[in-house]
Amino acid sequence: MLSNSVYDNRYKRPVISGRWTPLLIGINFILFALLIFIFPEFLAYLVGAFFLISGIGMVSVALYTKWLRHKYQKWQGHRWTKI
């Protein structure tokens, strides 16, 4: 019933696009692992940079999820009547 509505596509698209974040974090793991093997003398700097980039990525996922939950609750309140 709602799968053919305009609201379904608009609110489903951000959830699907949110799957890129774990992929980027995985690429981050691989990149820093290779850099550690190539430049072991910069291990402390690479680990620090890795934690910084991964932390920023995780915070962005958390904020994005919070924003999606807010949008969904707002949409649900407009579409459905409470019993």
| 19 part of a folded domain | no
The pTM of the whole model exceeds 0.75: no
| 70 part of a folded domain | yes
| 57 part of a folded domain | yes
Distance CA 56, CA 51 (A): 8
Side chain identity at residue 61, one-letter code: V
* DSSP class per residue in 48-60: HHHHHHHHHHHHH
Structure tokens at 34: 């290779």
In the chain, the number of structural domains is: 1
pLDDT (average), residues 14-24: 65
Task: Read off the pLDDT of residues 26-83 as tens digits, 9 standing for 90 and up.
Answer: 888 888 889 888 988 888 888 888 888 888 888 888 888 888 888 888 877 766 665 5
Tell me what pLDDT residue 17 has: 57
Q: Which residues are CB-contacts of 55 (< 8 A; sequence separation ≥ 6)?
A: none
| 61 part of a folded domain | yes
* Residue 49 structural domain: 42-77
| 54 and 21 Cβ atoms separated by less than 8 Å | no
